Amino acid sequence: MPTSKPAMTPGQRALAEAMMRGDHYVGKDARRISTDRYVDPQRHAEEMRHLFRRFPTALTTSALIGKDQMVRHDLTGLDLLVTRDGDGQVHVVGNSCAHRATRLVDDDDVHTSRKIICPYHAWTYRANGELAALPRPDTFPGLCKEDHHLVRYPAAEIGGLIWFIGDPEADANFDEVAMVGPDLDAIGLGAMRHFARNTHEIAADWKMVVDAFCEGYHVKRLHAGSIGEYFADGVSVADRMGPHQRFIVGRTEHAKPVDLDDWNAVREVMTFTYQIFPNTVIVVSPDYVNVLIIHPDGVGKCRAENLMLVPGDADAVAVQPRWEKSWQLLDQHTFGGEDFRAAALCQRGVEAGLRKEMLLGTLETGVAVFHDELDARLAAQAGS
């Protein structure tokens, strides 16, 4: 692991100090929340309209695309291209030609090109979606290129992630995600390199998946066959950053004295985890980071993309086997075989209609906090 990382933010340090003091995160009371939130089509439609088309959400990591590169992204329910121009600026545009609506990129690969060229009639666009050229312009009398750009969405690059707002007419206001930027910069997310990515189709509402990363009650039990041995039981601290939650989950040696100015040592005993509202989860392991972005895919279904980042200045040849082992353990076993499977089992239980409420214990307070924030946002939009 590299040692030249930025210092912790004041918030990160305060949370780490709370862990060292033993001020663990335990709620005062058990809570109940309604189960219809996971199966109600009207509720799903409101979430899509008021959250996923108006609130900034992460699309991918900065490390995935370099200068003059692009990648198709259709997990949000919108067909998009995420591009980076020659100056390093990111853009998010619609993946549909202004001529005959042809899909411009039809695979999941990262492409290197300064231009976006339609495969049908070769209309050509710049990385920012501007129409640059078209064959035989004389056959389009009166055409104004300025009126035929690709659909462009508000986009920003913050904390090593690429964000967008799913309404092309929305104001480019990213203030609420900018507040987590310093924490992600302190972790070094923007300096890391892409290692692997995979998309999981899950038979569960997107909130079921987010719920799993807002509590540590399940870790020693659900993950007994994978990572459970590395963590203490129910030992965590947490705070809020606006609508987001920041957790530290205690590893087995969480009580060991540690120099908080040494990120490597801290990450050996404390796992920082972020629930970035509404649908992004970041898990900071000792020598890699997983970014999980959970996208609704209809009522009772979602798709979760797992992206793994590794240190950009590490000896990749030497540590490649360890990273590959970690990738397989988390992506296929811990996340895919345990967290996502548990979410699907919860979904099936809710859909059976036998329970109108679910019970949250004092170690699951983060789940209640997430749903309280979500309910408040939807209520505010309904009243506006």
Condensed to tens digits (0 to 9), the pLDDT of residues 181-197 reads 999 999 999 999 999 99
Q: Quick one: pLDDT band at residue 40, thresholds 50, 70, 90?
A: very high
Determine contact, residues 12/272, Cβ cutoff 8 Å. yes
Q: Can you tell me the mean pLDDT for 62-71?
A: 98
Residue listed under structure tokens 């509720």: 43
Q: Which pTM was predicted?
A: 0.96
Residue 28 has pLDDT above 60, yes or no: yes
The matching CATH number, chosen from 3.20.20.70, 3.90.380.10, 3.40.920.10, 1.10.10.10, for 10-53+191-382 is 3.90.380.10
Q: Quick one: pLDDT band at residue 384, thresholds 50, 70, 90?
A: low
Q: Can you tell me the mean pLDDT for 58-84?
A: 98
Indicate the domain borders of the chain. 10-53+191-382, 57-173
Residue listed under structure tokens 């335990």: 26
Residue 122 has pLDDT above 90, yes or no: yes
Average pLDDT for the chain: 95
Q: Quick one: pLDDT band at residue 25, thresholds 50, 70, 90?
A: confident
Q: Rounded to whole angstroms, what are the CA distances from 214 to 71, 152, 225, 286, 379?
A: 30, 33, 20, 20, 22
Among candidates 205, 249, 247, which has minimal Cα distance to 227? 249
333: DSSP letter = I
CA distance 369 to 11: 19
Q: Rounded to whole angstroms, what are the CA distances from 185 to 12, 178, 188, 192?
A: 12, 11, 5, 10
223: DSSP letter = T
The full length of the chain comes to 384
Please give the pLDDT value at position 243. Answer: 97
Residue 2 has pLDDT above 60, yes or no: no
Q: Quick one: pLDDT band at residue 5, thresholds 50, 70, 90?
A: low
Residue 297 has pLDDT above 70, yes or no: yes
Residue 360 has pLDDT above 70, yes or no: yes
| Residue type (1 letter), 266 | V
Please give the pLDDT value at position 3. Answer: 43
What DSSP assignment string belongs to 259-323?
Answer: -TT-HHHHHHHEEEEEEETTTEEEEE-SS-EEEEEEEE-STT-EEEEEEEEE-TTS-HHHHHHHH
Kind plus residue range of the DSSP H or E element containing 209: helix 206-212
Percent of residues, the chain, with pLDDT higher than 90: 92
Which CATH fold topology does 57-173 show? Rieske Iron-sulfur Protein (2.102.10)
Q: Quick one: pLDDT band at residue 381, thresholds 50, 70, 90?
A: confident
Kindly report, residue by residue over 269-291, the tens digit of the pLDDT: 999 999 999 999 999 999 999 99
Alpha helices per DSSP H over the chain: 10-21, 41-50, 175-178, 181-187, 206-212, 219-222, 263-269, 316-327, 340-351, 365-382
CA distance 242 to 272: 17
Residue 20 has pLDDT above 60, yes or no: yes
Coil vs helix vs strand at 176: helix
Percent of residues, the chain, with pLDDT higher than 70: 98
- What values do phi and psi take at 317, rounded to 5? -65, -40
